Amino acid sequence: MNANARTRLLVRTAARLHAQYVARSKDELMQRLEPVDGMLCAYVDELRRTETLLTRAHRRGLHLCQRRLRQRYERSLQGAVLRLDQMQRRWNEPWPKPPTQRELYEELVAAFEEFGGVDCDWHDKTISVHTDRIVLEGLSLGSFRIVMRASLIARSDPSGWYCIEAMEPNPASSNEEIVHPHVDGDQLCAGDALVPIGNALRQGRLCDFFVLVRSVLETYNPHSAYVELENWDGVSCHDCGYVVDSDNSYYCESCEHSFCDECMSICEVCHTTQCRGCLMRSELSGMCVCDGCCARCSGCDQLCTLDELDDELCSSCLEERDEQEITHDDNQQTTRKDHVDCGQTPAQAVPAAAVTTAAPAGADAVCAGVAQTPVPVPCR
Amino acid sequence: MQVFFINNHGGGFADTMTVRDGITVGELFNQQMPGCEPHDYLIRVNRQPCTADQVIREGDRISITPTKIEGARLAA
């Protein structure tokens, strides 16, 4: 672009910016006038009402009532005076004088010379400059584009008028949105530069604005960074979020995430390394084990280590099962013993009286022992 | 004489001020920024680079912008 074309571009851009600033200054007037109808009128109305009541109370000789109404009148009067004082102070604040078109043009020329170029895109209504490559404590973060959004001038607070774009992003490994220790996404946290940047933008000192933003990008504040430079290439613990150097991070093969040493542990049986989230705790002994070294008791469903199970049962359930088996065996033995005492096996026992009468068809012979021989009763 | 002075350090005020005739940029800097080093600032007169011994004239616009400003992170 030759000098003439550049001049024409900057002049046109200055004219458009000037229109935005003029619109903003008109808005400022309306903002200062707005509060008049609100709070002050309420105080005046209250004064009128109280005055009427006070007059009546005075006529009727209501002294106690008068005293209260006087207090009420005084409070409303003080409120009105305070409100008027606030309004006057606000009115007396310096009126934002929009920068002239000439001033804006000179600012754009100064920014062009300071940064080696200014991009004016009136389709997007942005004005931007590029910084050189930013290197902080040996870490290269690439160059950045500082973008001023002219469409927002008429409307919003200056802190929202600009954004930052990383041209050769080298984001923190723990969060790819952090492209600079003080930039999250496209938002710069200006810190100590917040007020000067706001003032520069409001007053149309565009070159000062760009230089201030560049100064923040070129300065590292380790006490208030989204990600510290020492952890820039670190790994974020999947559990607690702490960023550690990649050499000091641990990998859990069970869930396939990285963790810090505080959030990692080992299986107390097979000694494999796993995160605390993947390890389980035996409900019997409290041991931390991996899922390959534990199982649930098929009796009570408690989680136990494999060593704590026998035949898929924990010691309590096993004991209970054994007791049941013993009891069953005992019952069977008792039944057998009774048959042995009467000298016959159960198969051989036939009542004497039953010999003379044939047992009803289908009836089983029973050894009655020493019981009297019952008289067979035919089945009905 | 009256000059327009822009201090982008701290509060960042910009206003006209009265200075003595013949004052240089370096003298004005020392007066307005006591204890600060010029090399930590971008100093411009009428938006142009200047020298410390440049004499300031009536109506000049002098700006002082720090080159190192600490940013921060927004609280979550």
Q: What is the mean pLDDT of residues A62-88?
A: 91
Cβ(A190)–Cβ(A176) below 8 Å: no
Measured at the alpha carbon of residue A214, what is the angle toward residues A24 and A18, in degrees to the nearest 5?
A: 20
Pull the structure tokens for residue A289. 């084990």
| pLDDT band, very low/low/confident/very high, at B59 (cuts 50, 70, 90) | very high
pLDDT of A74 reads 95
Q: A221 vs B67: CB contact, 8 Å cut-off?
A: no
Q: A219 vs B71: CB contact, 8 Å cut-off?
A: yes
pLDDT of A35 reads 59
* Ramachandran angles phi, psi of A322, nearest 5°: -60, -40
Which residue is it, tokens 């010691």?
A: A315
Q: A181 vs B71: CB contact, 8 Å cut-off?
A: yes
Q: Quote the ipTM score.
A: 0.89
What are A164-184's pLDDT values in tens digits?
999 999 999 888 899 999 999
In whole angstroms, give the CA distance from residue A95 to residue A216: 29
Q: Looking at chain A, list the stretches that DSSP marks H as alpha helix, in order from N- to C-terminal side.
A: 3-33, 39-60, 63-92, 101-115, 194-202, 206-217, 315-341, 353-356
Contacts of A79 (CB under 8 A, 6+ apart): A43, A46
Pull the structure tokens for residue A275. 């995160």
- List the beta bridge partners of residue A144: A166
What are A328-348's pLDDT values in tens digits?
887 877 776 666 555 555 445
Nearest CA in chain B to A210: B65
- Residues of chain A with Cβ-Cβ distance to B5 below 8 Å are none
CB-based contact, B40 to chain A, within 8 Å: no
What are A196-205's pLDDT values in tens digits?
999 899 899 9
Q: One-letter amino acid identity for A283? A: E
pLDDT of A342 reads 53
* DSSP codes, A324-356: HHHHHHHHHHHHHHHHHHTTS-TTT---SHHHH
pLDDT of A380 reads 40
Interface test with A, best of B48, B63, B69, B74 (most A CBs within 10 A): B69
**Is pLDDT above 50 for A361?**
no
Chain A residues near any Cβ of chain B (below 8 Å): 106-107, 109-110, 181-182, 184, 187-193, 195-197, 199-200, 203, 205, 207-208, 211-212, 215-219, 221, 224-226
**Is pLDDT above 70 for A351?**
no
pLDDT of B19 reads 92
Of A284, A330, A328, A338, which is closest to residue A306 (Cα–Cα)?
Answer: A284
| pLDDT band, very low/low/confident/very high, at A186 (cuts 50, 70, 90) | very high
Q: B73 vs A193: CB contact, 8 Å cut-off?
A: no
Interface of B with A in 3-22 (CB under 8 A): 6, 8-14
What are A227-285's pLDDT values in tens digits?
888 888 888 888 887 877 777 888 888 888 888 888 889 999 999 888 998 999 999 89
Q: A211 vs B71: CB contact, 8 Å cut-off?
A: no
Q: What is the mean pLDDT of residues A4-29?
A: 89
Backbone Cα Rg of chain A = 46
What does DSSP assign to residue B75?
Answer: -
| pLDDT band, very low/low/confident/very high, at A356 (cuts 50, 70, 90) | very low
**Cα-based torsion angle of the residue sequence A20, A26, A28, A34 in order, rounded to the nearest 10 degrees:** -140
Contacts of A295 (CB under 8 A, 6+ apart): A303, A304, A306, A309, A312
CB-based contact, B39 to chain A, within 8 Å: no
Of A240, A176, A225, A269, which is closest to residue A250 (Cα–Cα)?
Answer: A240
Cβ(A129)–Cβ(A145) below 8 Å: yes
**Is pLDDT above 70 for A222?**
yes
Q: The whole model's pTM is what?
A: 0.64
SS3 A358: coil
pLDDT of B12 reads 64
Chain-centre distance for alpha carbon A105? 45
In whole angstroms, give the CA distance from residue A92 to residue A87: 9
* DSSP codes, A125-169: TEEEEE---EEETTEEEE-EEEEEEGGGTTTS-GGGSEEEEESS-
